Structure 1
Amino acid sequence: MNRDMDPLGPVAREHAELVELLDRRAALRAALDLLAADGDVAWIAEAPGDAGDLVLGQVRGDRTGLLRGLTVPTGLGLTGKVHDSGAPAWVDDYFGATDITHTFDRHIEAEAVRRLLAVPVHRHGRVLGVLAVGAREDGAFGDRAVTHAREVADEAALAVAVAERARLAREVAVHEERRRLAAELHDSVGALLFAIGSGVAGLASSAGSADPELADRLERLRDQAAEASSALRDSLRTLRASPAALALSVALRGDCTAFTERTGVPAELVVLDDDPAELSPARTQVLVAAVREALLNVEKHADATAVVVTAGRRRAGGIVVAVTDDGTGLAPGHTPGLGLSHTADAVGRLGGAVHVATDPDGGTTWRIELPC
């Protein structure tokens, strides 16, 4: 059938456009395509969550690939400058410009870019990222190009806000369904396991010394019912956890498993709360990186035989994760290395803190506190 004659064609296209609007990445990609019309190469730089540095996640029209995934600290280059100031800026002679840092000259030169225009993508006073377009020929960005870039940035900000609301709505729906399933399992399977355990315990008591073999078998059944109840409680805790808290738990458990596989030293994760504190993806990333650094230090220096990672809520709000080993402890006059210093700085930028303490009887505890 001719597509133009298909009465469902417009409906299908509208549906595809709506789905694209609800996808943050697709929405930014569409904005980037619009902006690229004013030049030869264009990119969107975003700060992942609460992180300070920008990352060029999507690029159009590049030749070398050097720009893809490039990290841009805020304030550096034209992109970093616009993110820092929250105002549009452009340079018609990039290499002759004196009001920007030339941190990325090598990348710009490799792409043969001569002039560059960047505009912030902001929503309700918060800068979400920076859109930039570069041209490979001499000239000047006029009012039309700047106005068009502003309009595209405003459309991108709106699209990102809609996509974020849609994402949150999906997460809430999934979370509510998981909580409903957890409640049903608790009331049905949990109650059944409790009844089985109590019944078996009564039978074992009745058998007593009259039939030691039967009593022993019933005791084993009671132990198995108790283990099943414990496994069910762990599963219910996971089902009740929010998506953000679940992601953190999965990441920490994976790091404990990887540590054990590398070293042969058992590492166990203990989650202290049924409903752990929720962190943004960026804060989760910083926290997981801090735990990995602590585990790496245990692996290199502690000579430990066991490690326990605990995660729970802070009294003042937020989360605290502790990595405790039974090793030799820190040497007197210990000076933090580059890895620990970098970790402490990253946590500190988010309002948190890293504390390291050695027990007089041996062992070290790395305590990472982070507000939500």
Structure 2
Amino acid sequence: MDMRAHPLLELGEQYADLLAALDRGEALRRALALLADGSEVAWTACPDADGVLTLEQVTGDWTGVLRALQVPPNTGLTGKVFQAGRAEWVDDYFGSQEITHDFDRHMAGEKVRRVLAVPLLRDGEALGVLALGPREDGTFGDRDIDHASAVAAQAALAVSVAERARLSREIAVHEERRRMAADLHDSVGALLFAIGSGMADLAEVTKTDPELRARLERLQTQAAEATTALRDSLRTLRSSPAALALGVALRADCAAFADRTGLPAELVILDEDPPELAPSRSDVLLTAVREALLNVEKHAHAGAVTVSVQRRDPWLTIAVHDDGVGLGPGHTPGLGLTSTGEALARLGGSVRVVSDPDGGTIWRARLPC
């Protein structure tokens, strides 16, 4: 049997490809392998919150000076392409008047003669830059530019998928931590309370034995200290980073809805980075989503529900979409929807409910972020 064609081996290769697609670093390494041959330098650069790019992945380099190199906005060809959001190239790197020359020393050390850079774009947002630096003289042609742009488009998609997978994993981890905190509170917390109360009762009935009473009081103090330590640990377990708090809470609301109704409820976050809101604004949104899910439970006769979150500056939009019967003729907002609209309006937001032409209802809230 030709083992190369064995179905299990093919399945293993597909599984490896899937894991690679969910790993941001591996996706970028594969993109560089498609972009450059052995005689060329290539790199990916990704921005921080201030727009400063860092060369995260480098291939084909000799000196190591490019690794982790930081590129301020609009400097060099890499910084320029990130700011412009379009492919650019220079056929004579050191003689070009179109770029700054902050990194001439680095390029000279790597013997780079020319550079082609393309942005990693996804839904109009620049995620980084993919760049190629051949060591021989020449000119970039249309085929080079089209190839680099195609690789960058696939890399941007892979990065987007990987980031969403990372976010889903982090939300799942924090959900599990909150579940563990609740379990510990109900079990260990209740046990410590019972121990402390029992020792307090014993101390009352042993007043005639000072030594025994003193020992019980010491044990009571230790139980109180253990309770305080447990409370601090539970607070840490329950807490989520600000950037994950909304996603964790919405996932919990979807799970609670599914538990109550037996209907599947899925949370979909449509951005690589979850929205970050002040607690007061987040509370208003969460209350609104819970009201929407309650309405689905009461009136929709749905088979499934999807809650989606999307940020398109300056708006954060949360939609609750069910596949139920839709809005009846002459539908008028009830007290819950009216109260939700008023609460969101006080924060500059709004809420709208419409029937989906394909069936069901779409509840959509918007809030400035």
Q: TM-score, normalised by structure 2?
A: 0.64
Tell me the matched-pair count. 253
Partner residue in 2 for 1:147: 146
On the 8 A contact 1:171/1:243 being kept in 2, the answer is no
The amino acid that maps onto 2:35 is L
Partner residue in 2 for 1:230: 228
SS in 1 for 2:181: helix
Structure-1 separation of matches of 2:280 and 2:158: 37
On the 8 A contact 2:76/2:103 being kept in 1, the answer is yes
- Structure 1 gap segments, 5+ residues each: 247-279, 282-312, 318-371
Partner residue in 2 for 1:175: 174
Deviation at 1:143, TM superposition (A): 0.8
The percentage of aligned residue pairs carrying the same residue is 62
Partner residue in 2 for 1:345: none
Identify if the C-alpha distance between structure 1 residues 314 and 174 changes in structure 2 by more than 3 Å, giving closer, same or farther. Answer: closer
| Runs (4+) off by over 4 Å | 243-246, 313-317
1:24 aligns with 2:34: no
Matches within 5 A, 1:59-70: 59-70=58-69
SS in 2 for 1:95: coil
Worse-superposed segment, 34-43 or 136-145:
34-43
Partner residue in 2 for 1:261: none
Structure-1 separation of matches of 2:18 and 2:160: 14
Partner residue in 2 for 1:119: 118
On the 8 A contact 1:38/1:145 being kept in 2, the answer is no
Matches within 5 A, 1:130-209: 130-208=129-207
Deviation at 1:238, TM superposition (A): 2.0
On the 8 A contact 1:40/1:61 being kept in 2, the answer is yes
The amino acid that maps onto 1:228 is A
On the 8 A contact 1:39/1:133 being kept in 2, the answer is no
Structure-1 separation of matches of 2:65 and 2:242: 32
Q: Which one of 217, 220, 237 corresponds to residue 219 of structure 1? A: 217
Deviations 1:25-71 (A, max 9, x none): 000111111111497110001113x2321111111111111111111
Deviation at 1:180, TM superposition (A): 1.2
Matches within 5 A, 1:1-372: 2-37=2-37, 40-48=40-48, 50-208=49-207, 210-242=208-240
Structure-1 separation of matches of 2:169 and 2:80: 35
Q: Alignment RMSD, CA only?
A: 2.5
On the 8 A contact 1:175/1:243 being kept in 2, the answer is no
Deviations 1:199-227 (A, max 9, x none): 1112112222x111111111101101001
Q: TM-score, normalised by structure 1?
A: 0.64
Structure-2 separation of matches of 1:4 and 1:316: 57
Deviations 1:293-324 (A, max 9, x none): xxxxxxxxxxxxxxxxxxxx88789xxxxxxx
Identify if the C-alpha distance between structure 1 residues 159 and 177 changes in structure 2 by more than 3 Å, giving closer, same or farther. Answer: same
